[in-house]
Chain A
Amino acid sequence: MAARVFERWAAAACMFLLGAVAFAEAAAANAAAVDGKTLMASRCVGCHTLDNDGHWSRIGDQRKTPEGWHMTLTRMQHNHGLVLNDAEKDAIIKYLADTQGLAPGEAAPYRYVLERRNNTIEQYNAINRPDSNGIATRCTTCHSYARIALQRRSEEEWRLLLHFHVGQFPMIEFHPAARISAWWEENEPHLPGVLVGLFPLSTPAWSEWRKRPSPDLSGEWRVIGNDPGVGFYSGTRTIKRVGPDAYETTTSWEFADGHNETREGTAVVYTGYEWRGRTNVRREDIREIYAVSDAGDQITGRWFLARHSELGGEFTAVRVRSGGARLIAANPYGIQVGTTRRITLVGTNLSGVPQFGPDLHASIVSRTADRIVVDVIAAPSAETGLRTIALEPAESRATLAVYKAVDQVRVAPEYAFCRLGEGGGKIPIVGAQFEAIAYASMPGASGKDAASVPVAVLPAKWALEPHTAAAKERDDQLYAGRITSSGLFVPAQGGINPLRTKGTPNNTGDLTVKATADFDGKTLEGTSHVIVSTGMLFFNVPIP
């Protein structure tokens, strides 16, 4: 069960019981083998019409992400009797995402939901115009704002979506947040106009993007990332093209502590940039949700466990080009003045001597073409600030934070929503992986305003405490879950707990997560907030 997945995942990461795992997946081959456009002509035509201009009724007035089209087709299968096998479904999703997708810039602000960063606190009122508040009080009572913002429709299609909701969910007008007003009368005339203003079907960005050919991503790539609870990693990925927009991958990662992981996988690229990969790590199926840069030379995103999307890591891959030198990252990425730190520089085709700027002196410990290990001495008089590390002739994006003293530890995520599960049932628990990150004050980019900048991920001692007086009264810290030495919060089991007599019979909780870390001669504490809710994850939708 999922709790064992949690345990095994954490244990494997700690014990380094890892190795190469072959992974075969048919999706990549299927995507190339079946033609989605042809399939639509036979499968969609039962309910939709195709006019002489190639425009499908309903379908043709919408644009969505691959996940959006996946959810649409799943609904057609479940609610309307559409019959498709997995290969056919993959092919139609591919065709629709390619021809009616989102431009990279349209999806960019909302990638957090595709990447399953489900503890993101959405700031929709700040990033959209004031009248998007209508969506805040309507759609986001049940959905993430990103679910709406990752769709583009004509005004009529937005209106029909509203009608669909009342037809499919007739109690919608009686929802606690809806029954206080004349829901239909207030929304039907008004909301489609707001939505089409925010998210119109036709945009210059999409018109331009869909003209572009899909990039060929085959070749060698340099990889860096962070696996929360385990740490920084770097490595290589070989991408082999096996069909149009279909790839096989072989990836090798090395963590800062020296242990290695190798995995094989597959991927399909939708809409010319939406990388959707599958692989296997520590005997767990992994999903990769990445975006390819406009230039086709960088792939960035998040990977996560298929069964526990809350567990996963950051990923960046940079294409290795012959003769093209790039310095990608430094780890660790901070140094205190008056100290010495061993730092690994990661990149491609690295040559020359790294330059850290005035009052920082580096001596090279070891070097290869893609990794240089240096001991850096920061003089007590070194000026604080964020420095770009120069390594001519490489193009550098690696920075080093030079600081006087760490002044706080922040725990990420700052708020985590966890769910009870299992307890003999079928629904997995939802936990959270925390990290303790040291911050230091230093001049901002302008050189005037002080900014608090992350300077290191710290090993920490983790503890749980009641977050409120009521939580203390209920002894939430004893029942709602536990936290491991690597900061992994594992919620308690679902079901009624006969041992719990105060406040609630369920293992709910409202807890403070406390990290205590010793760093640069100081003992620092940071906290986060975790809710353990009774709301089980009955819907594991790609876009909540």
Chain B
Amino acid sequence: MVSTEEEGLVRPMQAVFPLGCTTALNPGVEVDSTGSVASLCTPWEADLYGCSEPCNWPASVPDSMTYPEWNQGTSNGEADWRSLGQIYPDK
């Protein structure tokens, strides 16, 4: 919380990204701002599409511009996540 002297009011500070989002999306470092998991988006399956596109995780979750075929027919992340495949599967 921050105060504005002019107005004598206390108002919430405007966050630059949604609270609860991960702040580090480096490969292999999908952890929250404390380096732990408490603030990861969960249930992750429900947040998949809502977070990956607006927050732009194109190196972690295939984006719809580059990989439009990736999630075709799986519009409900929570229900359909099991159908999602891997980019660069090594058989």
Contact = CB atoms under 8 A, between A and B. Distances in A.
Interface of A: 74, 78-79, 118-119, 140-144, 168-172, 174-177, 179-180, 285, 287, 306-307, 309, 417, 419, 423-428, 467-468, 470-471, 474, 476, 494-496, 503-506, 508-510, 531-535, 537-542, 544
Contact of A505 (B26, B30, B43, B57): B43
Given A78-B67, A476-B37, A504-B42, 15 more contacts: A79-B66, A141-B26, A142-B60, A169-B63, A169-B65, A176-B17, A179-B16, A417-B28, A495-B82, A504-B37, A505-B42, A506-B40, A508-B42, A539-B60, A539-B88
B27 A171 contact: no
| Residue from A175, A417, A532, A533 having most chain B Cβ neighbours under 10 A | A533
A401 B56 CA distance: 50
B91 interface: yes
A494 B78 CA distance: 12
Contacts of A171: 53-54, 56, 58, 63
B1 interface: no
B82 A141 contact: no
Contact of B26 (A140, A168, A467): A140
Contacts of A428: 86
B17 A544 contact: no
Contacts of A169: 56, 58, 63, 65-66
B9 to A, nearest CB: 24
Closest 10 CB pairs of A and B: A535-B30, A544-B27, A534-B44, A176-B17, A142-B59, A425-B82, A171-B56, A508-B37, A504-B42, A175-B56
Given A176-B55, A539-B59, A495 B45 contact: yes
Contacts of B73: none
A174 B56 contact: yes
A470 B31 CA distance: 14
19 contacts: A74-B88, A141-B26, A142-B57, A143-B27, A169-B58, A180-B16, A287-B90, A306-B90, A427-B86, A495-B45, A503-B38, A534-B37, A534-B41, A535-B30, A538-B60, A538-B62, A538-B84, A540-B88, A542-B88
B37 A531 contact: yes
A540 B60 contact: no
Contacts of A179: 16-17
A507 to B, nearest CB: 10
Contact of B85 (A74, A142, A176, A426): A426
Given A141-B26, A142-B26, A143-B27, A538 B86 contact: yes
B3 interface: no
Contact of B29 (A417, A537, A541): A417
Interface string B6-49: 00000000001100010111111111000111101111110000
Contacts of A496: 43, 45, 78
Nearest to A308: B90
A372 B25 CA distance: 50
B2 interface: no
A169 B66 CA distance: 8
B28 to A, nearest CB: 5
A144 B37 contact: no
| Residue from B60, B78, B91 having most chain A Cβ neighbours under 10 A | B60
Contacts of A144: 26-28
Contact of A534 (B29, B42, B62): B42
A322 B14 CA distance: 73
B83 interface: yes
| Residue from B37, B62, B65 having most chain A Cβ neighbours under 10 A | B37
Nearest to B78: A496
Given A510-B37, A532-B37, A306 B59 contact: no
A306 B66 contact: no
Contacts of B53: 171
B41 to A, nearest CB: 7
Nearest to A505: B43
| Residue from A468, A471, A504, A539 having most chain B Cβ neighbours under 10 A | A539
A332 to B, nearest CB: 32
Nearest to B88: A540
B32 to A, nearest CB: 10
B38 to A, nearest CB: 5
Contact of B36 (A74, A177, A531): A531
A540 B89 contact: yes
A74 B88 CA distance: 9
B86 to A, nearest CB: 5
A117 to B, nearest CB: 10
B87 A538 contact: yes
Contact of A470 (B16, B36, B61): B36
